Structure 1
Amino acid sequence: MELRDIEIFLALAEELHFGRTAERLRVSQARVSQSIKQQERRIGAALFERTSRSVRLTPLGERLRDRLAAGYGEIMAALDEAAAAARGQVGTLTIGTLGPHHPGIAAVLDLFRQRHPQCELRIREILPTDPFSGLRAGRIDIGLLWLPIREPDLAVGPDVYSEELVLTVAADHPLASRVQVAMEDLGDYPVVYPEGPIPEYVWEAHTPSVTPAGRPIRRGVPVSTLEEALTAIGGGSAVSPVGLYSVASRLRQDLTFVPITDGPILRYAPVWRSASETPLVRAFVQAARDARTPGQPTRSRGQDLGTGGDREGARR
């Protein structure tokens, strides 16, 4: 039995009407009748009982329908999977993020999953002090990194979301009681700095080396992870701008978060190795382009975390 004959048989078994079956399959009614007659001759028994008013399956036809339907479903699923694989829509895509940034990329992930349900998305964390090693080693297919990225072997997609920074200080630090601070205030205190292979120009977008007035911002404690930075800050060794997504997930009693009136706003975009661009990578970048919305959180959220009527909440 040819695949088209199986389709005709199953469609007629569902419609129980030769005309509707022909219309559904976009073939002639004569083609439907011819196919069913051929199969009945091959099997040696009737599959349908036909009258001038109705069509219904014989008991043999019912058994054949049940067996063929399961097999036909498997065949079509295999064909769909093969076609999707040929288009690059099956497999695993590993996305790297800088910590708890899921709210910023949730819309992109949802849209990609809707479009490519057979692709498995894996999320891995990227250390801010080492943003490119995972990409270059092939452990990560796409990294969501703050801009600018000026690496000759890496491609950069559209902005996906943005993030404001707040100044993180110890709860008993002189700046902890301030309603807000300015970038100029960083010239008075040592800041943490990254101990890792992050390029200077990338870190400069996060924590500048000089204040707006040109005063140098002193480097204090070297850190490799955000937890190391927060521990050093909580102990009073240094201060540091920290992104609001990280702040929201790490409220601690020994820290206070103060809004920065003129602080940097980090813009995040998908980054991938140009030589390893695949159809899945292109599909994710397209989803990022289609799903992007104005960045969240906003400055008002930073003000809520910093000061005002709830200083105890800011210190958690």
Structure 2
Amino acid sequence: MRGSPVVEIRELECFMALADELHFGRAGERLYVSQSRVSQLLRDLERRIGTRLVERSSRRVRLTPAGERFLSELRPAYERLSATVDAARESARGVTGRLRIGFQGTADARLMRAITDFQERHPGCVTEIVEVPFADPFGAVRHGDVDTAIVLLPVEEPDLVLGPLFSRQQQTVAVSVRHPFAGRASLHADELAGVPLISATAPAPAYWRAAQAPSTASATATATATAPAPQVRTLQEGLTLVAADRGAMLLCRPTAEYHGRHDVTFVPVEGVPDSVLGMVWRRDGETGRVREFAAAVRAASRAGS
């Protein structure tokens, strides 16, 4: 019994390059082969599949409906295959190269412990640490500026993987030293009802912004406060508005301690969810370096719990 024709990986790469470029010459340049070789590889692929994938005229090149369907299924499968090969290669030679790590808020002791542990285990891999903007927790990961990031939860992005969680901390509320709450030892969330809570502006998703200024405290504030709660791009902007008595801001204890200033005080708050950090990376960007760093984050979390 004859088996199905075996498709060569070079034919698939040729088809995807042609689908991107829609030009035989440019596809050839991209693959470092001649234009005639691109045509031959495409013919071989179409013969193996049994249908036309590309329409070519003197004026344009375009995919057929069958070609469009084939591309939509081929590309994610090819990316998964490439990731598997890269992971196997990294495993064979050890974790090397560069790992870019983003952090949001504060690079606290647990994060630094995870980075130190990772570096000790993988001296051939260089780590870079980049601050992630408060109002754009996921952008750096999505755009490839970092390989992974430690961000405030929640994370509901379908294209991102949420890895290990760590650094669960009680929330504090930042208020001006002139605010009536400044001398309190602690507060309950209900007491924040009349206080505008400062939150992040876009591009942070609406669900994420709401989590940083919970509705249990901010819903009544919208109706009772004399001005709407400000939205900010950075933590420093938020703390400056706090110092000016424009509102209050919820922060975890380590971030509050790190960003301490003489005109702002931080009061523990009960009745709101703890602040939790999590490690995220692109679903199509998982590498051996990312997996090994995730293991270091888990170990640092267990050591600090």
TM-score range, shorter chain: 0.5 to 0.7
Which residue of the partner structure matches residue 194 of structure 1? 200
Measure the CA separation in 1 of the matches of 2:160 and 2:232: 25
Instruction: Indicate whether 1:250 and 2:291 are aligned.
Output: no
CA contact (8 A) 1:87 1:279 kept: no
| CA deviation string 1:65-101 (max 9, x = no partner) | xxxxxxxxxxxxxxxxxx8685451100000001322
In the superposition, the TM-score normalised over structure 1's length comes to 0.62
Which residue of the partner structure matches residue 157 of structure 1? 163
Instruction: Indicate whether 1:216 and 2:220 are aligned.
Output: yes
Unpaired stretches in structure 1, ≥5 consecutive residues: 1-82, 297-316
Measure the CA separation in 2 of the matches of 1:295 and 1:204: 28
CA contact (8 A) 1:192 1:229 kept: yes
Measure the CA separation in 1 of the matches of 2:235 and 2:120: 33
Which residue of the partner structure matches residue 85 of structure 2? none
Which residue of the partner structure matches residue 54 of structure 2? none
In the superposition, the TM-score normalised over structure 2's length comes to 0.64
Which residue of the partner structure matches residue 286 of structure 1? 295
Instruction: Indicate whether 1:275 and 2:284 are aligned.
Output: yes
Measure the CA separation in 2 of the matches of 1:147 and 1:175: 27
Measure the CA separation in 2 of the matches of 1:265 and 1:175: 20
Measure the CA separation in 1 of the matches of 2:303 and 2:174: 25
Measure the CA separation in 2 of the matches of 1:101 and 1:165: 17
CA shift in 2, pair 1:148/1:222, >3 Å: closer
Matched residue SS, 2:165? coil
Measure the CA separation in 2 of the matches of 1:250 and 1:266: 16
Measure the CA separation in 1 of the matches of 2:219 and 2:230: 19
Which residue of the partner structure matches residue 274 of structure 2? 265
CA shift in 2, pair 1:87/1:207, >3 Å: farther
Number of residue pairs aligned between Structure 1 and Structure 2: 212
Instruction: Indicate whether 1:118 and 2:144 are aligned.
Output: no
Instruction: Indicate whether 1:229 and 2:238 are aligned.
Output: yes
| CA deviation string 1:144-165 (max 9, x = no partner) | 1122211110001121322222
> What does residue range 1-316 of structure 1 map to in structure 2 within 5 Å?
86-87=92-93, 89-211=95-217, 215-218=219-222, 219-293=228-302
Unpaired stretches in structure 2, ≥5 consecutive residues: 1-88, 223-227
| Percentage of matched positions with identical amino acids | 32
CA contact (8 A) 2:198 2:213 kept: no
CA shift in 2, pair 1:98/1:253, >3 Å: same
CA shift in 2, pair 1:161/1:230, >3 Å: same
Deviation of residue 289 (structure 1)? 2.5
CA contact (8 A) 2:199 2:212 kept: no
Measure the CA separation in 1 of the matches of 2:212 and 2:240: 19
- 1:116 partner amino acid: H
Deviation of residue 181 (structure 1)? 1.0
- 1:220 partner amino acid: A
Measure the CA separation in 1 of the matches of 2:219 and 2:252: 23
CA contact (8 A) 2:96 2:124 kept: yes
| CA deviation string 1:40-72 (max 9, x = no partner) | xxxxxxxxxxxxxxxxxxxxxxxxxxxxxxxxx
Q: Decide which structure has the larger Cα Rg and report it.
A: 1
Measure the CA separation in 2 of the matches of 1:198 and 1:94: 21
Measure the CA separation in 2 of the matches of 1:287 and 1:224: 30
Measure the CA separation in 1 of the matches of 2:303 and 2:202: 31
Deviation of residue 295 (structure 1)? 5.3
Deviation of residue 130 (structure 1)? 0.3
